[in-house]
Structure 1
Amino acid sequence: MWDYLQHLSFWDWLALGTLLLILEVFGAGGYLLWIGVAAAGVGVITFVVPQLPWTLQFLLFGLLSVFTAVFWWHRQRSNASPSDAPGLNMRGQELIGRTFVVQEAIVGGRGKIKVGDGVWMVRGPDMPVGTPVQVLSQDGAILQVGPAP
């Protein structure tokens, strides 16, 4: 094993990089991509400098793995732009601040309001059917309501 490590060639690093990239295709979620790129990078460096000691090759591999992963993470974070539709796919968020009518009386802090063609469960002060309420917040599938202004 030590003999093999002392005679690593660029083919070994390119093979490792290729294997990691193939494994990435099967769904590693991006984790193996940058490690595979680092292995291929060490393969290129080893091709240019064939007498590079194996300890330095592994050190380069570790540093390149961390560098490529941090570089891509930083690049992804800097490219993130604010959404023009921040409430998209957050069902119920668009109801906050709107006024609706109580459909099932709020008794003991629980009741229902009609929203469009659907009914939402609500929490709030006790109110009879037909009372207008304003949605204050959302907690999962339950809306917090208060008296409409």
Structure 2
Amino acid sequence: MTGLLVSLGTWNWLIFGFALMGLELLAPGVFLFWLGLAALLVGGLSFVSEPSWQAQLLAFALFAVSAVPLWRRFARPRAGEGSNPFLNNRAAGLVGRVCTLEKPIVDGTGTVRIDDTIWRVSGPDAPAGSKVKIVEADGAKLTVAAA
């Protein structure tokens, strides 16, 4: 076993790194890639200097342990960076919008047409054709106020 560890050289680290990256292609999970990158870094370090096998294993461990948290930090989406922040909550994206009542609000309930969808609204009584502003969204029910 020690003979194998002593014989760890630059080419072994490079082969190990590319093998791990190849395994990542077969079983994607973005974990083996970073271990492969750590092995490639140790191989590159071995080209520059001739570290002992203990130093090589320590460098591999340090690179591998630091690569995964760094990847998680940079891969995490930033707040407000999504292409559509209201994708799964469409009604919340309507708050603040002014629209025309399709059916009058009678006894606190009426409807508006927004784009191609008819929404149920609640608010103060108003005749059809009145302009209202959406002030709150609760599921599929919108609360409106006179605009």
TM-score, length-scaled by structure 1: 0.61
Give unmatched runs, 5+ long, in structure 2.
none
- The corresponding residue for 1:9 is 9
- The corresponding residue for 2:143 is 145
Q: What is the distance in 2 between the residues matched to 1:147 and 1:134?
A: 5
Q: What is the distance in 2 between the residues matched to 1:104 and 1:8?
A: 80
Tell me the CA shift for residue 40 of structure 1. Answer: 0.5
Is the 1:103–1:114 contact (alpha carbons within 8 Å) kept by the matching residues of 2?
Answer: no
Is the 1:105–1:127 contact (alpha carbons within 8 Å) kept by the matching residues of 2?
Answer: yes
- The corresponding residue for 2:117 is 118
Deviates more, 1:112-121 or 1:64-73: 64-73
Cα 1:119–1:75 shift into 2, 3 Å = same
Spell out the pairing of 1:84-95 with structure 2 (5 A cutoff): 87=84, 90=87, 91-95=90-94
Query: Are residue 98 (structure 1) and residue 132 (structure 2) matched?
Result: no
Where 1:113 maps in the other structure, the secondary structure is: strand
One-letter amino acid matched to 2:20: L
Tell me the CA shift for residue 137 of structure 1. Answer: 3.7
Query: Are residue 57 (structure 1) and residue 56 (structure 2) matched?
Result: yes
- The corresponding residue for 1:35 is 35
Tell me the CA shift for residue 2 of structure 1. Answer: 4.7
Give unmatched runs, 5+ long, in structure 1.
none
Q: What is the distance in 1 between the residues matched to 2:7 and 2:106?
A: 77
Tell me the CA shift for residue 49 of structure 1. Answer: 3.9
Give me the CA root mean square deviation. Answer: 4.1
How many residues get paired?
A: 142
Tell me the CA shift for residue 59 of structure 1. Answer: 1.5
Cα 1:126–1:58 shift into 2, 3 Å = farther
Q: What is the distance in 1 between the residues matched to 2:125 and 2:75?
A: 49
Is the 1:106–1:112 contact (alpha carbons within 8 Å) kept by the matching residues of 2?
Answer: no
Cα 1:132–1:12 shift into 2, 3 Å = same
Where 2:118 maps in the other structure, the secondary structure is: strand
Tell me the CA shift for residue 43 of structure 1. Answer: 1.5
